[in-house]
A and B are shown apart, each in its own frame.
Chain A
């Protein structure tokens, strides 16, 4: 016998603890008198950058028209449902990517516009996501999340370290942000709090080691050691913040516990599953407000991923990307489907009046326009409302524009995230249209 008069509340209880409270319930925090003055009760803006290497099909990356009438090339078909919330951008480029080598020097500075060092040295620029993370990352448990679906390549190619090909996110000009490719470990980053109180003593001790050592080494080495020092400090601060989290925020996320199981250990053999898990983790990170900044590298530029599920099982780099075939199109669409999936998931999460997608800014780009190393313009597409700061349905073309630096877009994006800089990379002003 089913009792039809179940109260709504008991219904909620019945659905289990992992279910988020509906928006209205968590809204009560708004009136919470203990909220510090000046802290916003609005849901925060989140930013995700998706990357896939080697560009897209030469003839099928295009958009015509504006708003609902916008027509999309085949590569972009997976985004059809999001046309009105999408900004298609044509013609931006990264001047530094035209120097140096192919692949590596087109990727390692994609998000910074910085010149790259060759000859066995590493020198790029801090990438846009990390610049933002360094400014506002302390507001969340993790300053940023850097995910990937293909392992980094540990070699040097044509005088450039493959680090450049393997990393779009850079914490400093000399340091790519370590990439998490294991779904389980990425999940743990979000939710596993294994730090004990005694860890703080350990960290204090090794911090003092580092300070002692710092005195007797060269300035060059000091810079290297400072990465360590700052990282240890950051961990210490996280432990401190962990105790206080929740008190500082006027807004509370709609989800506090993971609503998906921890992925199994190890490296997924199936690329579809791998990308799906990483996408889910990205969404979960935003939904729980564990971080507001995420980069997801779907594959390496110059990568070796294969796509047996698409019937495409040969070298993607070179043979595949240099030939604008149906196979290449399938692979391109597969990448765009990931973006559509993430957008769809975010759009299903209500955060007050808006959805999480309205409060997010997804950007997808590649290192070159097409697989022929052509970086004279870069493929860019964005989805999401950016917390009401982005107007969808736009089709922008900067090809004829004099100042069409990719870094201008980054300045725009930083501003939406609350980081206002006078210049970034080779740009000094944001794109007014974005």
Chain B
């Protein structure tokens, strides 16, 4: 240590006789070294011997200060540290101790002045010494900031859980001396390097860093970037009123409405040129390019050429703001007609679509209609309209031929032109039938009165007997529910006996070798076959196409109840079954109930009451669900109970399980033959359509007739009914007889064979040509607009479908364009809307070209979607596509060249990062292999894709290999940046060598690059702030890069940014002092960096660290029970301080503001804590909103003294501590030094006694002389702040804050303290600030040779309103900051 001053000593001697200095106190004095030199032996040494050496001498010297060694002034120069201590002891009057012999005032002044003068001279002569700076490692915070700046990921803090950095020098953690290194720390650095490298993402043009480490998350992030780009052009999901047809594509819908709305709202202003389109675009946040185009298209007058757009233009012109819906709906409709969304998974497949959104053209040369006729009561008729309208482009040439309109089905087709005549015929026949009502009733009565077991007459005999026609009689009997005892035939009995099932010979049944089968468990044991066969149960099992059924054929007439049950008997597997409960009569089928069973499903049919005729069949039918018959064993049961007569019961399961193998059909237990039937049938041919059934109106004459037993009265009633139906025509009404009349008038009339019926009147509108040319009689030849209405009797419509084809008439209509429609019911003809069907035209006609062009114009302007916004397909079909890009419409309509290339780049990066081409290839291959087994058709369809998939993957593989050297270069570029210097050629070689080493050891390229990055971040070149000292003794300026690094770590705790690095690379920072503009660039950069938001780091690392507030947001020192709110508030308290200093530094405030600012930065919770209303009421509970609040001194805040962070950190866990606060002001803020505390302090009281303030307590117990020595100096400051509690709240009521400082000043409260510090102690305050800032900037303790620089800082600050930047600029331009000691001087 001592040798290192050899050089300056030489210099000092050289200027020994002409030394002028300004002392710390600022008074101008002239000292001559020679007198100082001579004074020592004559005047000073005797004083030292007399007053000091008794204690400070020889081996037993107190405090290891041996004054006897300082024989001459040269000895003093060699141990200035001791003399600095002597100066302090004298200045603070600590020495000689009070109990020792004291010098006179004059002697003390002489001694003091001489020591000061010697030190001042020495300081001056050594001034500018860069000092010994121990090699600095990046501390944990600098490491994190650096990585944050490099990667742009602020959440990445690799050193978060590293051991805490130590502080040294002036108390900062950026001081090399306190920075340890150890194997465990190296290990942590290695892991941290790996952690950073994990975030590296290899891109086609270099390396970037992602917040995410998994490929999946990164890919998502890149995808979200594109989605975000798309976002303004797609409607958000929750937009109301979207057309249903867009359906699941909603997220990608183009929200054209907001553009329309803007054009409509601003239409007038635009027309009057009060506003430009670009202004509208920015006001409504719309795309300018599209808005211009849209407005241009819409505001152009209709030209009659563009059928679709013309309609829209017209509507646009008349649409007012707020009434957008109709226009929007019209556009929606056209979009749905002109565009089609396709499943993405089918794109590129043979026969598949070419794109997601494709054009469709709703045109045809012939339009075919097939309309099923609805079921209506036979007395009524159905209205049908054939509508012919123009296509919106006028009616010229709009002649249409409706070809052969007809009703098809029910075994007989009926051309529409015959319908009118057939209706007449039905009316005639009905009249005949009505007139014989009485005879029909009498015939029925004969059947009804026959006894239950009597043989009934057959239909023909009965018809002849009563002079009615047999088929009409059948209609009547059916209507009345009277049967003539015809057996319902069953054709497909199961004929093979099954002797045992599931190895149980008591489970027998009937069925095919496979299925269907019907089984019965005859035992009392439940067994697995493998479904569950319950004791005494009946089970059926269908095949994929055949149902299995068990039926009961009624042996009786009369009312019964029916109960049925079906249940899945094999619940562990299968997809369930479908079932039907049917009632079949000789006249048809009625499904009583039906349903589907899920796995383990069970259904019990609610009891049904039925009037049965002998021979009717009640069946339970079970089929597979969707053709899948696996595990379809089904338990069934049917119970029929007679209501009248003998109330006998037929129980299917119990009877069949008993007798299943007797025969099929099986006789029942009541003695009837062939009651039970086991059969099968085609599932497809099962008639399950609901059938129209008429029930006789309650209270009507007919009901009375039906229940009448007395034959005479029955005949009388029949006569009355006859009269009723003839005298009244059907009319609406709810009375029983009105209903009855409607029913009887609607009974089916026997027309016979409608196709051969002759003498039918033909409809005159058919078969007519406008020029009397030949037209088929059944065709209809009309011009648009027209509507042809027909009325079809229900009896003709039943079970039939209306079929017709419409096309332009070949002669008159060749150049026409029409739209056709067929409608049922009576629609209002005047309001007939333009049909949504295709436009019918002739291929190649002019009209056709015109219409296609019109469609094109619309599509160009109003695509329903601009891009596939989801990117990941949400098809409902299997798709291999990972990411789907379809955005050409977006590019055409909305984007400029730059945006297009940005989009291309993002897509390129997405596919690169996700390695999509390779993944696609693998997935494609896998699914093809999978499909070859059972879907050879698919393999064929995919064939066209193979080549493209393989080629793309191959290209990608090649690109990846091509990119490897580029990534290596990117690592070098990163090293260049974070090592804060260019790499040497040797280092570059070594990188390449290391990379190859990794590859040779089997690491893949990305892992090798990551490991190489780890190497970059583990290197001492990164971890240490290395600088090259010059040879020899002389200090010399550091290099440009080193200076840039010093500056950047000083102000930003991080590496230089691009601009600073650039300037350094150009050599602009270090310039010799003789140049006219010395330090101009250095100063410019300093000011730039001060104004940057990164200066916040200086607020934390320097200001908060100095004031012992750093990491206050994690302060854990408070008693949670007493201060539960502290944990929630501490981060806000800390943020106030950080924001305060950030603001001060960034805006170049006065450093005195630190004490006397009348403003602060508050969020809502801190404002509540301080009881200060916020100027802007944020009305939100979020604490993220911070605002500057002025005038806070009047509320007891302002400056650091009023901040909760300081007040709380310098308090105890449970109460305030005036000692801590006072000591903080004394030592931290003012830079005073207390004498050493006594080694054995007296005992303090046991606890805080009730009712006594902390102040009282302390006052009582620091009276001991040993304590008072320190406490008198510090406690009074603390007492002034007693108005604030241990978490910085203002105490209520008033607390005594008046205090007397050790220098005799009396003051009170925070205001008094502030005034005292700012006025009386300003120099000490500023001096301490300068000392700390200099120490922080240099990373070492301030030394004697820094005193002139500190003086200069103080003077310049005083002259310049104490602006912060003044101090910073003086530091960065000082030799201390810019230079480095020579190697020899250091060693």
Contact = CB atoms under 8 A, between A and B. Distances in A.
A56 B507 CA distance: 90
Nearest to A106: B1239
Contacts of B193: 202
B181 A231 contact: yes
B166 A176 contact: yes
A232 B63 CA distance: 40
Given A156-B167, A159-B1233, A227-B181, A119 B998 contact: no
- Top-5 shortest CB links A-B: A120-B1341, A156-B171, A163-B166, A178-B163, A221-B135
Interface string A42-72: 0000000000000000100000000000000
Contact of B1120 (A58, A199, A308): A308
B1349 to A, nearest CB: 17
A177 B184 CA distance: 9
A203 B190 contact: yes
Interface in A217-256: 217-221, 224-225, 227-228, 231-232, 234-235, 238
A218 B1003 contact: no
A348 interface: no
Contacts of B1217: 315, 318-319
A395 interface: no
B1239 A373 contact: yes
A313 interface: yes
Interface in B114-152: 132, 134-135
A198 interface: yes
B1233 to A, nearest CB: 7
A81 interface: no
B170 interface: yes
B166 A119 contact: no
A397 to B, nearest CB: 20
Interface centre among A153, A199, A234 (most CB of B within 10 A): A199
Interface of B: 63-64, 81, 132, 134-135, 161-171, 173, 175-187, 190-191, 193, 990, 994, 997-998, 1001, 1003, 1011, 1014-1015, 1018-1021, 1023-1024, 1026-1029, 1105, 1108, 1110, 1116-1117, 1119-1122, 1212-1215, 1217, 1219, 1227, 1233-1234, 1236-1247, 1335, 1340-1341, 1381, 1383, 1386-1387
A154 B1011 contact: no
Interface in A84-117: 98-99, 101-102
A425 B1367 CA distance: 45
A373 B1241 contact: yes
Given A102-B1236, A163-B178, A217-B1028, 17 more contacts: A120-B168, A120-B1340, A179-B164, A180-B184, A194-B191, A198-B1001, A202-B1018, A209-B1020, A213-B1020, A213-B1021, A220-B134, A224-B134, A228-B186, A304-B1213, A313-B1213, A314-B1212, A323-B1245
B1239 A201 contact: no
Contacts of B190: 199, 202-203, 235
A151 B1119 contact: no
A232 B186 contact: yes
B622 to A, nearest CB: 47
Interface size range of chain A in the complex = 35 or more
A210 interface: yes
A166 interface: yes
B135 A217 contact: yes
A205 interface: yes
B186 A231 contact: yes
B1014 A178 contact: no
A234 B1213 contact: no
Contacts of A221: 134-135, 1386
Contacts of B1335: 120
Contacts of B81: 119
A161 B1110 CA distance: 16
A325 interface: yes
Given A166-B166, A323-B1245, A231 B1213 contact: no
Residue with the greatest number of chain B CB neighbours at <10 A, chosen from A122, A154, A322: A154
Contacts of B997: 201
Given A119-B81, A122-B168, A373-B1237, A216 B1028 contact: yes
Q: Which of B81, B1015, B1227 has the most CB of A within 10 A?
A: B1015
Q: Which of A120, A155, A177: most chain B Cβ within 10 A?
A: A120
Nearest to B139: A154
10 contacts: A119-B81, A154-B1105, A206-B1015, A208-B990, A209-B1019, A213-B1026, A217-B1027, A219-B1387, A313-B1120, A314-B1214
A154 B165 contact: yes
A197 B1003 CA distance: 11
A280 interface: no
A34 to B, nearest CB: 29
A174 B182 CA distance: 12
Contacts of B1219: 318
A98 B1383 CA distance: 37
A122 B1386 CA distance: 17
Interface string A137-160: 000000100000001111110110
Contacts of A177: 180, 182
Given A163-B178, A232-B186, A304-B1117, A101 B166 contact: no
Contacts of B170: 120, 156
A154 B181 contact: no
B182 A227 contact: yes
Interface string A167-184: 100010011111111100
A225 B1335 CA distance: 22
Nearest to A204: B994
A35 interface: no
B1212 A315 contact: yes
B177 A122 contact: yes
B1214 A313 contact: yes
B1119 A313 contact: yes
B180 A176 contact: yes
Contacts of A337: none
B94 to A, nearest CB: 14
A426 interface: no
A161 B166 contact: yes
A224 B176 CA distance: 8
Contact of A189 (B134, B184, B1110, B1212): B184
Given A101-B1236, A221-B135, A154 B164 contact: yes
B1386 A219 contact: yes
Between B64, B178, B1386, the greatest number of chain A beta carbons within 10 A of the residue's beta carbon is seen for: B178
A429 interface: no
A364 interface: no
Contacts of B168: 120-122, 156, 161, 163
Contact of A202 (B185, B1015, B1340, B1386): B1015
Contacts of B1011: 198, 201-202
Contact of A209 (B173, B1001, B1021, B1110): B1021
Which of A159, A171, A201 is most buried by chain B, counting CB atoms within 10 A of its CB? A201
Contacts of A161: 166-168, 177-178
Contacts of B165: 154
Nearest to B1011: A198
Contacts of B169: 120, 156
A121 B179 CA distance: 11
Contacts of B1238: 373
A120 B131 CA distance: 13
A125 B177 CA distance: 14
B59 to A, nearest CB: 13
Contacts of B1213: 304, 306, 313-315
A143 B1246 CA distance: 44
A372 B1264 CA distance: 14
Nearest to A201: B997
Contacts of B1387: 218-220
Nearest to B171: A156
Nearest to B1111: A154
Contacts of A374: 1239-1240
A375 B1119 contact: no
